[in-house]
Every structure is written in C-alpha cells, then in structure tokens.
Chains A and B, each alone.
Chain A
C-alpha cells in the first residue's frame, strides 16, 4: 500500500446519485480536487506549473447516468486510517449526490483494478405516458430480444454509424409496476466500452423525435473477469 515514492494509494468507492449525474466527468474531476482539499487530506500533487492533486479515476461515466460503483485512486503523502471517521470526512466534504461507501489502501495503480473488469451492468428505465408505454412496450421487448441474436447493432454516434454489438454482453427486458426498461451488460474491451445511452437510442430510435419520455440509467455493478 506504500509505493516506492513514499506515496499511499487510497482507493475510494462512491455512488453518483441524483441530479449531480448531470455533471460531466471532467467537471467531476474538478469537484474531486476541491472537495479533497476541503477534506484536508495529505494529498500528493502532480509536478509542473499547474500542480493538481494526484488522482486516477475509474472509466468515465457518461453524462446523465447515475452509478452505484465508481472508484478513484487518491495519492497521499501520509497514511490516514481508512476508517468510518475518514469516510464521514469524505462525505461531509463532497457535494450532495456523491456518496462514499468504501475506502481501502491498494498497492497498484488504477490500471490494475481496471484490467480486472469484464463488463458494467446498467439498468435502463423508460418513463413515459401510460398510453405510450402500452403502444411501445411490446415493440421494445422484441427489439431487446433481437439484440441477442443480432450480428450487428448499428447506431449513430458523433455523426458516424457504429456497430455496438461487440460491446453488448447481454440485454434483458423488464417490466414492473407500470415501468419498463432493460438491463444491459457492456463489455470493457481494451480499456474502452460504450455508453449505455447508445443502446437506449437504438431501442427508442423510432420514438426519439415524436414522443415525450424520460430515461433513467444507472450503473448497477461491475462484473469482474474472475466472476
């Protein structure tokens, strides 16, 4: 847990809940810088003119997605007990919606943690007018079922058509209490994955322009290669 440079790597696991999910990842990084200073941690800083706290983040979470399982490696120049008191210090120092639930010291950089990840599981829910849900429910179900057997799933992304099928490890429809949606597992291949919104856009393609609906996407868990 202590690196050769006399640094301690504290891995902090957190949830990103509520409206703060609409804060982009690059802004979240800045939120971490100032919040960790507020938490009065013995931070290590980067070298150079614009010195900033040394942090390494888990793969970026897309804008508008909440998560139960984000993590960040924080480099400290002094060991601080990773106990409940420190966890409280973290939660008091961060804006509402970023909630820490686990702190632990690790010995290796963040890439070693990321290398162990096979996929992310998301829960994607559609909130719409009841009549719309009735109209589209069955169609969504069929479209989701078809993804499993499809060779390609072509979507528009950044003005180009892209096949996202290689990244989809499974997609299942659910419907409960008048809500409908799907869970999708997106594979992490060579350090990159796809935004779950792309799957949502593919499924809702027909309704995107003509219906008023909301989506709620949450990263539920990380699936490791060893699982």
Chain B
C-alpha cells in the first residue's frame, strides 16, 4: 500500500488492473486454510514460503509443491504460503512501482518469511530462481544476505547436482522431501523460539539428513576451469551428502486435500502417485537412477486416496502418476475402480470419472488400457521407443523390440486409433547414421501398418529430442552431440521421411538442450555465468521464444568458458565429477559398468526390487 496523504492506493489492485491474466496472482482458491496471520497466537509462527520458479500455471501443477504445501500447512505454528513467478508485464510493473513479490494467499512480502523453499526440477529454471529472489528484494548470492533475510532452501530432482546453484542457495535438501519437510519446520520453529541467528539456523538445518550447505565447502580447481575436487571448510559438515529416500512409499504422506485453481493450469486434476522410481534402467534417464528403488503404493491405499481427493476437491479426472505407470501390478484394478466410482455411493452419483496415464509402455496391454480409459473417444496413443535400431536400444537399455512396436501399432489401429505419437532421442552415445536410418525405417513401417489396414485419416506425430547427459546416470561421462552434428542428424531423418505426408516431424531446439546440458553437469563455476546471464536479461529459458542464447554465450565467455564446449565436453572415467559429493546410494562402480555395457551394446535386465543387488540400492 502506498500512503499518498489521504487516499491509500492499493498497489496490488493497481497491478491487477494493468496486467494480462490477473487471475494467476490472486490466490482465492478452494482448499486453503485461512489463518489470521496477525493474530497474537501466530506472532511467533514460522513463516515458510514454497515457491516454484515459473508461472502459476506450471507451478501449481507440480506434484512436489502439492506434497510439501499440504504437509507444512498442517503443522501447528507454521504459516505456509506459495509464490510463483509473475509474467514479464507484471514483473516490469512491480519493479516500476516498487512492489516486491508477495505470497499468494496471505499477501505477505516474500522477504518477510523465515524460509523460502524453491523447487529445482529443471536446469533451465535456474535463472528464474534469481528472478524470483530479485523480485522479492532478497540478495541473489547467499554471501550477501542480511540477518533478517529468509533462509533460501532448495529441493527437487535437479539438486542431485547442486553446484551450478551453490552461490544462490543457503541449504539444499536432496532426495524425497516428505519427511524432510516436517523436520525442516521443526528446526525452524525451534531456532526461532531460541532466537538463533541466521547462520545458526542454517547450521541447525545442515544437521538434517540430505542437507547440503554449499558455503561449508569450497571447490578445488585443477586445469583452468576444471573442478578437481571439493574441500570441506566447516567442521562437522558431512563428507558426502546422502540422498533421502522414503523406504515405504505406501505409508508415506500423499496429498489428498489439494488446492483447486480457479482457472486452467497445466494439470488441473487429481494426481495420484501410484509408484516412485522405475524398474526399467534406461541409461539416459536420470529419474530412473535417482529415484531408486522402485516403490509402489498398494491398490487399497490408492483407491482410498482417489476417494478422498474426489470428496475434498470435486476432481473427477485423475492422473495415475509414475515414471512407468503400466508397470504397476494393480493398474487395471485401480482404473476399473476409478471409472466405476459413480456407482460407489450417493456422494459419487452423477459425477463422470476419467483416468489418464502420463506414460505408456510399448505393448498391446497399453492399447487395451487406453481403450479402457477412453471408451468413446480414441484420441491418440503415445509411445517412446527412444532409439531406432535394436543395437541402439541395447546401448540405452530400452527393453522393447521393433516387433513390440509393430504389434502395438497394429493393435492401436485395429482399436480405432487415428493418431500415434512417437518419441525418439538423437545424439545418443555410440549412435551412427545407420541407427538413424533404422529409426526412419521403423517410423515409416508404422505408417505403412496403418496404410495396409486402410486406416482413414491416420496420422503420426514424431518428436525427436536431443540427448542430454545427466549426472548419476551411466551416460554422465558422455558428451552431448554438437550443434552441427545434431542439425545434420535432424536433416538426415527429415530427408528420409519427407515423402510421408501423414508423418509430422518435430525436433527440439538445440539451444535449449545445449544450455540444459551445460548446467546439468556444471560445476560451481557456472554460478558466475548464471548471475551475469540473469543480469543481462535471461529468464524463462525453458520457453523457446524467450531463450536469449547470445546473452548466455556472452555470460559464459565473461566467466572464461565457452558454452558450446562446456555442453559438449566429454568427461573421462576417473575425472572428478562436481556432483560426486551427492551420494544417491548407487555403487560407484555400477554406473561405470553400465557405461561399459552400453559400449558393448549389452542390455541389463529390469530391476527386481529387493532381489537384485546390482546397483547397491536394495
């Protein structure tokens, strides 16, 4: 509010009246607790702000935010709220009229919270974290923060390599967050009660499992710019950070209250996490390694969660979330239960329930399931063979055969599907042109299946992403293909498939993956480049039309690096890895063995949780 000598101008309303899509800034959703934050009993409450470094539409669809918010909001003595990034028009107006970022529900300035939690799930959101802190009026670098500033805490899958964000985050929490959330709140409450200083609060948090305080460590550089190790500079700091893992997913917290947005977000529906981790060990997939072991929720628990979500929110559309949903043993039963809920009692009558799956295995079972999910409308089926040749599928350990794909496509066409979407990856380690030609061949063969069956109106959307080497995977040492190589590979495929009018090809932009690759395997040295890029206007880098690659290149050069070289660098086995401080529980030698298996085109069987002891997790 601005007091202008009589009339108070509400700056927030002024902003809402002068920006596009104001509904994303107002909160006012169903399902929120309404606390009197100014009430005397809340005077000493700990204020925690959960933020997501993107807009409301995206952030509100994030499952981690839903879990953490519901846990923290339920803790006595904690005031929990959310914040997301405003769009550019709003951010510019906020700066112009000197209105800092506020929390969504209670409209408390972000800088007045005791802690700000940031979800880091994607490297291209890193500049957005700086944008968020900047809008909040909080110093970007940890070392510059004042005693009264909130403790900036980060969590999320990208934290398995925390180093590129090390200068900006006070404490990282690495691994599953359900138990950590409650422990963090307990430490914050206790330290507030005891009147601990900011530094002491960070120290208290650092004692929790999975906590990493970058200020307690100092990177050691060998050759110019190449990190050769890390030195502990704080007594008592752990040698390695052990990733937190929820052992029994079935007894772990699952959100059932869920805030219901007032407008369409990316996923505005009931989300039920049916399993965590993945049995399949695709060698490029980071989630498949960092979320080990594979854990399932029981069918009865899932049914109960679905019922509670419906009764609390009114959601009738459910996503059964998992890295590979079709691997869940009770999937059919869960789907049948959900689709038949309208017969389950008076409170369900009339509602029309539907289920969606985020990923489907290449199998006729998936076609059967899809038919079950959409009895009346056959929209499209999506499959990810990832690689074209059997040789390459062995290299990446994608355990599907060419025949599986054809049989699945035949079943899909026979079931009335008119659209098949396929996902492939190019630029994979050990890939040759022959593999790409094979890829084009099997894509055209799928189209031929539809033609042979005289399927009218059939079309295929085929998306080709570019391989990005990720930490803690067997391909962490591999180089990313250069821009020239990728462009040539894309052209090769395009040339092979140009005569098929029913096949629509889509290639991801190399610039995006180049930046992703640099940060995914980056060291602490990238903090400087990130800061300079942000100051030069870089943000929303994940949005194709907003990525300012030239500014990024300049920022890298200013910090003595070349973006293209950094992204495509090959790391030799035995070289120091900036993320080796993080202990995911996987045996050090296992990833190397898997890399060797890839080189020898040797597939590894899927995980058999509890029985196989290969990776060291079980």
Point out residues on A near B: beta carbons under 8 Å: 18-20, 22-24, 27-28, 30-31, 34-38, 40, 42-43, 45, 49, 51, 63-64, 77, 93-97, 127-131, 133, 178-179, 212-216
Contacting pair B4 A42 (CB below 8 A): no
Residue-wise interface mask of B (267-288) relative to A, using a CB-CB cutoff of 8 A (1 in contact, 0 not): 0000000000000000000000
Stretch among B26-34, B290-298, B320-328, B413-421 lining the A interface: B26-34
Q: List, sorted by A's number, 26 A–B pairs whose CB atoms are closer than 8 Å.
A: A19-B16, A20-B28, A22-B16, A23-B263, A24-B23, A24-B263, A30-B264, A31-B262, A34-B314, A34-B315, A35-B314, A40-B346, A49-B376, A77-B350, A95-B260, A97-B28, A127-B7, A127-B8, A128-B7, A128-B9, A129-B4, A129-B7, A130-B6, A179-B7, A213-B9, A214-B13
Besides the known contacts A19-B26, A49-B376, A214-B13, 6 further A-B residue pairs in the complex with CB atoms under 8 A apart: A19-B27, A20-B262, A23-B23, A30-B263, A127-B9, A214-B17
**Nearest 6 pairs of A and B residues by beta carbon:** A38-B314, A19-B26, A130-B6, A37-B314, A27-B263, A22-B22
**Complex formed: what's the CA distance from A96 to B264 in Å?**
18
**Complex formed: what's the CA distance from A18 to B27 in Å?**
11
Q: How many residues of B contact A (CB 8 A)?
A: 37
Contacting pair B313 A34 (CB below 8 A): yes
Q: Return the chain A residue nearest B22 by Cβ.
A: A22
B14 on the interface (CB 8 Å rule)?
Answer: yes
**Complex formed: what's the CA distance from A40 to B311 in Å?**
9
Residues of A within 8 A of B29 (CB): 95
B588 on the interface (CB 8 Å rule)?
Answer: no
B351 on the interface (CB 8 Å rule)?
Answer: yes
**Complex formed: what's the CA distance from A178 to B23 in Å?**
29
B183 on the interface (CB 8 Å rule)?
Answer: no
**Complex formed: what's the CA distance from A22 to B17 in Å?**
9
Contacting pair A34 B260 (CB below 8 A): yes
Q: B563 to nearest A CB, angstroms?
A: 40
Residues of A within 8 A of B263 (CB): 23-24, 27, 30
Q: Return the chain B residue nearest A53 by Cβ.
A: B350
- Which of B263, B264, B350 lies at the interface centre, i.e. has the most chain A CB atoms within 10 A of its CB? B350
Q: Return the chain A residue nearest B24 by Cβ.
A: A22
Contacting pair A37 B351 (CB below 8 A): yes
B389 on the interface (CB 8 Å rule)?
Answer: no
Q: A75 to nearest B CB, angstroms?
A: 11
Q: Which of A95, A130, A131, A216 contacts B262 (CB 8 A)?
A: A95
Q: Return the chain A residue nearest B315 by Cβ.
A: A34
**Complex formed: what's the CA distance from A64 to B10 in Å?**
14
B352 on the interface (CB 8 Å rule)?
Answer: yes
Q: B586 to nearest A CB, angstroms?
A: 42
B236 on the interface (CB 8 Å rule)?
Answer: no
Q: Return the chain A residue nearest B16 by Cβ.
A: A22
Pair count A-B, CB < 8 A: 102
- Which of B313, B314, B347 lies at the interface centre, i.e. has the most chain A CB atoms within 10 A of its CB? B314
Contacting pair B23 A214 (CB below 8 A): no
Contacting pair B262 A27 (CB below 8 A): yes
Q: Which of B9, B10, B23, B27 contacts A27 (CB 8 A)?
A: B23
Indicate whether A64 sits within 8 Å of B351 (C-beta atoms), given known contacts A38-B30, A130-B4: no
| Residues 1-52 of B at the A interface (beta carbon under 8 Å) | 4-10, 13-14, 16-17, 22-23, 25-30, 34
Q: A111 to nearest B CB, angstroms?
A: 25
B377 on the interface (CB 8 Å rule)?
Answer: yes
B492 on the interface (CB 8 Å rule)?
Answer: no
B349 on the interface (CB 8 Å rule)?
Answer: yes
Contacting pair B347 A214 (CB below 8 A): no
Residues of A within 8 A of B17 (CB): 64, 214-215
Residues of A within 8 A of B480 (CB): none
B517 on the interface (CB 8 Å rule)?
Answer: no
B97 on the interface (CB 8 Å rule)?
Answer: yes
Contacting pair B26 A178 (CB below 8 A): no
Q: Return the chain A residue nearest B31 by Cβ.
A: A95
**Complex formed: what's the CA distance from A93 to B313 in Å?**
9
**Complex formed: what's the CA distance from A214 to B27 in Å?**
20
**Complex formed: what's the CA distance from A212 to B6 in Å?**
15
| Residues 336-350 of B at the A interface (beta carbon under 8 Å) | 346-347, 349-350
Q: B319 to nearest A CB, angstroms?
A: 16
Residues of B within 8 A of A35 (CB): 30, 314
Residues of B within 8 A of A43 (CB): 350
B490 on the interface (CB 8 Å rule)?
Answer: no
Residues of A within 8 A of B377 (CB): 49
Contacting pair A19 B28 (CB below 8 A): yes
**Complex formed: what's the CA distance from A179 to B25 in Å?**
26
Residues of B within 8 A of A37 (CB): 314, 316, 351
Q: A61 to nearest B CB, angstroms?
A: 14
Q: B56 to nearest A CB, angstroms?
A: 12
Q: Return the chain A residue nearest B27 by Cβ.
A: A19
Contacting pair A214 B313 (CB below 8 A): no
Contacting pair A23 B349 (CB below 8 A): no
Residues of A within 8 A of B9 (CB): 127-129, 212-214
Q: Return the chain B residue nearest A39 by Cβ.
A: B314
Q: Return the chain A residue nearest B10 by Cβ.
A: A214
**Complex formed: what's the CA distance from A19 to B313 in Å?**
21
**Complex formed: what's the CA distance from A130 to B23 in Å?**
29
Contacting pair A23 B30 (CB below 8 A): no
- Which of B4, B29, B34 lies at the interface centre, i.e. has the most chain A CB atoms within 10 A of its CB? B4
Q: Return the chain B residue nearest A133 by Cβ.
A: B7
Q: B453 to nearest A CB, angstroms?
A: 24
Indicate whether A51 sits within 8 Å of B262 (C-beta atoms), given known contacts A64-B17, A212-B14: no
Contacting pair B7 A22 (CB below 8 A): no
Residues of B within 8 A of A22 (CB): 16, 22-23, 25-26
Q: B452 to nearest A CB, angstroms?
A: 29
Q: B105 to nearest A CB, angstroms?
A: 10
Indicate whether A214 sits within 8 Å of B14 (C-beta atoms), given known contacts A35-B314, A45-B352, A49-B377: yes
Q: B435 to nearest A CB, angstroms?
A: 41
**Complex formed: what's the CA distance from A18 to B346 in Å?**
34
Residues of A within 8 A of B262 (CB): 20, 23, 27-28, 30-31, 95
Q: B15 to nearest A CB, angstroms?
A: 10
Contacting pair B10 A127 (CB below 8 A): yes
Q: B309 to nearest A CB, angstroms?
A: 11
Q: Return the chain B residue nearest A76 by Cβ.
A: B350
Q: A210 to nearest B CB, angstroms?
A: 13
**Complex formed: what's the CA distance from A178 to B8 in Å?**
11
Q: A95 to nearest B CB, angstroms?
A: 4
- Which of B5, B17, B349 lies at the interface centre, i.e. has the most chain A CB atoms within 10 A of its CB? B17
**Complex formed: what's the CA distance from A106 to B363 in Å?**
54
Contacting pair B347 A130 (CB below 8 A): no
Q: A146 to nearest B CB, angstroms?
A: 25
- Which of B5, B7, B28, B346 lies at the interface centre, i.e. has the most chain A CB atoms within 10 A of its CB? B7
Indicate whether A95 sits within 8 Å of B316 (C-beta atoms), given known contacts A45-B352, A64-B16: no
Residues of A within 8 A of B6 (CB): 130, 178
Q: Return the chain B residue nearest A64 by Cβ.
A: B17
Residues of A within 8 A of B314 (CB): 34-38, 93
Residues of B within 8 A of A49 (CB): 376-377
- Which of A131, A212, A215 lies at the interface centre, i.e. has the most chain B CB atoms within 10 A of its CB? A212
